[in-house]
Structure 1
Amino acid sequence: MGLLVYIFLGGLLHYQVDGSRMRQEDSRPRIVEHPSDLIVSKGEPATLNCKAEGRPTPTVEWYKDGERVETDKDDPRSHRMLLPSGSLFFLRIVHGRRSKPDEGSYVCVARNYLGEAVSRNASLEVASGRVATVTRPPASHSRSHGEAEGDVTWGHSEATAARHRRGGLTECSGNILGKPKAVPV
């Protein structure tokens, strides 16, 4: 029989040493994909991404403005779904004059018996005004200069993409979308 030794470090990690082998048994959760800020149109679907690792596999919960988010795990009729990856999927963004239940600041929290990890904050904002859809590329190119107000939505092949707060674009229907560049006139 080989020598079997257990090492317990500060209540956080548990290793088993068996002869010359060492393997990690359990680990604290850690967030490996943080959610990003989104601007989405009312009634449209949206996803706030979050992915966590740890052993045992951590459970993920979402919080909006400090309050736990109710998902389909709590109420099968909910328009918010907790995906197996840990991401939060909205079947449609709910937004009214008096009630704005989806707009706010979100974090995901991953937990297992060794602890918890909290993601960075991500804001979900509902686009104001109309959102334009580009269904085909223009036949000619043009340049313009000046300042525009409001949100711009870019898309391709009848897909639309909501602009991220930091200026990036989402990817919809497998189309790769880029960030427009300013051209000096």
Structure 2
Amino acid sequence: MTKAQTPERPNSTGSEEVVLVFTFGDVSYEEMSPRHLYAFLPVRPSVFRFFIHANFILTSTRKDIRRTRWNRTLLEAVPEAFLGAVAQFHDRGLATLWYNWPFLVPWPIVYDEAFEAFPLRLRYLCSQRPILEDSSGARFPPQLLRTVPETFRDEDKTPLLPEEYSSRRLISRYYSAALEPMHKVTGSAKHDR
């Protein structure tokens, strides 16, 4: 949840909540279908694998959100709220979500008119935040980490060459190799050479 500083609107306090809801438990995040946008009731599917709830201004059919400054402000708060949630996954010991959060966003991000600013904003924020874990369990921004392909790992997913031979820190073995497309978007180096 995050607060968005919203433009003036009748009955508005100037600040609105944007709430994100994540599925937790025995689920395949990689195969999960996109979730809905909510304005107290479901409005329409989004491209993300988490629910987004906010006080959106809707079209008269309630099947979409209107293209207004108000809604744009609410949607611009989503990347910040998302990365705040990612930090909470780690801080609260929610390992399933912490090691699978990249699956909650399509990489590369699918275009959705309502979320047109989302890809650039998320990429920028990802590059600035310690959102991935290295092999020792410390958190770092993606561009400071390298992945190691499955072919250069043993059966326990441990890299065949020790980390000290890498020019960068290695990403934790607990992240799935299926996350390769995410590395291009967030700025982490794909492989160590």
TM-score, length of structure 2 as denominator length? 0.24
- Where relative contact order (Cα < 8 A, 6+ residues apart) is larger, the structure is 1
Looking at secondary structure, tell me which structure has more helix per residue: 2
Looking at secondary structure, tell me which structure has more strand per residue: 1
Larger radius of gyration, structure 1 or 2?
A: 1
